[in-house]
Amino acid sequence: MYLLTVIVFLGWTSTFVFANTGVETHEEVSTSVKIGKCCDLNEILVDDVCTELSETNETTIWQPEFVDDIFPAVQQKHPMKHQFKIGLPNCRDNEHQWHVYYDPDGQDRLAILPTGKLRHFVHDRWGAVEGEKLLSNNFRINDPNDDDITMVPLHYDYSFGHYCGDKAVLTKNRIVTTYAMICVPEVAWTDVDYLIRHIVDPVTRALAIICYLIIAIVYFVLPQLRDLVGNMITSMSMCFVINQIAITVRIFTQFASHISFLIADTVAYMSLLAAFFWLNALGYFVWNTFRSRNVFLRTTDGRKYCYYSSYVWGSTATIAGTAIFAHFALETNKITIDSNDIGNPQETVGWLGMSVLFTSIAFTIIVDLCFILTTANTIKRMRTYGRIHHKMKYSFRMFTLIYGIICVGWLSLLISQLKYDQLVYCNIFINLLQALSILYVCVFGQKRVTFLLSKTCNCCNSENNHSDGLDWGEEMTAINAGY
């Protein structure tokens, strides 16, 4: 009995000693707030360098300022039980450290919430918002002249581990203030990935649009090129233009545009599919011309173009409809993309719909390869050429080069769907290279086209133009006109 009384007395005495000496018990430690401190307990920050308190003119270490969790009405609170945890903040990969100094008369104010979070107030007109109520994520200003004025909340909270604070002395300005190092997100426009995806990519697509428009205008304006092959090249170029525009719109859709990702992706994939079908129609026309014994058919180019156009747009609409049906009816794991708007993530074309479209494009590539191989064998066996066959040789060469170029672009687009940054960057470069290559093959790489352009525009020296490789009609024109 006496032993039990002694134990209780000693336990009560030890508790009294801990409470009066400032040493926290286990229960008090568990209820205290954790606060990050940049320097050691006996140090403060002097000109951005941790310095012992004894080496400065200061007598006290950093005492955090506590406020209630009410914004923008800031109310002081009495000091709370807290623990200092020494060390710099542990920022994520997409964050960087940022220095903030408490400025009572400026834009930056620092305070600690009862939960241990650091609140950073940022505002240049504190008097204009005093006493206003916080509504959701925005607060409103009571203006009698305007019933709906909304301002962005100008405070940011940083949880423990994403900040550290301390007392700071700026000897040059003779200022004693509070310092904080916080973790803030990387600024988008300084990120290399952001620059490539949102600045370089739209610029390259604008250049690609210009290239395709030049091809379409040249083959549509010059009467000598406005035959069936020229109309097919024009239609294919316009499909590429629509594809580039849709992808560009998709890039800017991430900035809270009213156009959805699903619409932009659907238009982009449909136009790309139509371009491959136009190339397939061109390959069939060249193959059929060399295969046919009687090339002097009575069907006009206009009627043939209507037939091929019906084939292209009918096939495109059918396959696109199948892909859309597969996306809405059969897709189980739909893809969503977050936009920079505060709205919900937007839906885009899923893997099932993309597989239908890309499989159809792959099928046209295989058929075009068969056209190339069989037509090349037919040309090797031919001993004499007529005027139409002579002209078709240049069309076949152009078709083969365009086929190789856009196949490389399609493979690059297909591989870039793996979402690796390096593959996406490579696809951006190849997309521009594809447009420049097609422009060279269709316009600047053909002497006939450059001759007609120089003849129409009168912008080139006639001594540099030769009649080698021209079509028979243009060759005679060059000889008679002295070009």
pLDDT for 263-281, tens place per residue? 888 899 999 999 999 999 9
Token code pair at residue 248 = 């560009």
Between CA 255 and CA 270 the distance in angstroms is 24
State whether residue 129 is helix, strand or coil. coil
Mean pLDDT highest for which of 100-109, 127-136, 212-221, 440-449?
212-221
The overall longest dimension of the chain from CA atoms, in Å, is 134
Between CA 274 and CA 270 the distance in angstroms is 6
Contact 393/478 with Cβ under 8 angstroms?
Answer: no
Mean pLDDT highest for which of 149-153, 196-200, 252-256, 308-312?
308-312
- The neighbour count for residue 124, using CB atoms within 10 Å, is 8
First to last CA, the chain: 127
Percentage with pLDDT > 70 across the chain: 70
Q: What are phi and psi of 42, to 5 degrees?
A: -100, 25
Which of 20-34, 245-259, 279-293, 311-325 is predicted least confidently?
A: 20-34
In angstroms, the Cα distances linking 175 to 42, 73, 224, 258 are 20, 26, 81, 50
Contact 68/77 with Cβ under 8 angstroms?
Answer: yes
DSSP 322-368: HHHHIIIII-SS--EE--SSSSPPEE---HHHHHHHHHHHHHHHHHH
With a cut of 60, say whether residue 81 has pLDDT above it.
Answer: yes
Omega of the bond prior to 72 within 30 degrees of 0, cis?
A: yes
Pick the residue with more confidence: 210 or 11? 210
Token code pair at residue 118 = 């650091």
Contact 91/185 with Cβ under 8 angstroms?
Answer: no
Element (H, E) at 273: helix 261-291
Contact 483/451 with Cβ under 8 angstroms?
Answer: yes
Provide the whole-model pTM: 0.62
Element (H, E) at 120: strand 118-122
Q: What pLDDT is recorded for position 479? A: 42
In which residue are the tokens 């918002």 written?
Answer: 129
* Ramachandran region, residue 167 (left: φ > 0; alpha: ψ -120 to 50; beta: rest): beta
Could you tell me which residues are beta bridge partners of residue 155?
121
What is the per-residue pLDDT across 89-132, written as a single tens digit (0 to 9) for each? 888 877 878 888 887 666 778 888 888 888 887 764 443 333 33
Q: What are phi and psi of 140, to 5 degrees?
A: -105, 150
Report which residue type is found at 311: Y
Q: What pLDDT is recorded for position 208? A: 96
Which of 6-20, 172-186, 273-287, 455-469 is predicted least confidently?
A: 6-20
Using a 10 angstrom Cβ sphere, with 0-12 exposed, 13-18 middle and 19 or more buried, the burial of residue 154 is middle
Mean pLDDT highest for which of 243-252, 392-401, 402-411?
402-411
For helices 387-416 and 351-381, give the axis angle rounded to 10 degrees.
150
Residues 6 or more apart from 166 whose CB is under 8 A from it? 37, 38, 39, 43, 44, 45, 50, 62, 178, 179, 180
DSSP 8-state secondary structure symbol assigned to residue 460: S
Report which residue type is found at 368: D
Between CA 259 and CA 312 the distance in angstroms is 27
With a cut of 50, say whether residue 76 has pLDDT above it.
Answer: yes
- Mean pLDDT, range 151-174, rounded to an integer: 80
DSSP 8-state secondary structure symbol assigned to residue 441: I
Pick the residue with more confidence: 284 or 198? 284
With a cut of 60, say whether residue 338 has pLDDT above it.
Answer: no
With a cut of 60, say whether residue 134 has pLDDT above it.
Answer: no
Q: What are phi and psi of 99, to 5 degrees?
A: -100, 135
Between CA 280 and CA 402 the distance in angstroms is 11
Contact 389/295 with Cβ under 8 angstroms?
Answer: yes
Between CA 265 and CA 44 the distance in angstroms is 56
In angstroms, the Cα distances linking 453 to 215, 223, 225, 229, 462 are 12, 11, 11, 18, 12
Pick the residue with more confidence: 113 or 143? 113
Domains and CATH numbers, the chain: 28-186 (no CATH), 189-445 (1.20.1070.10)
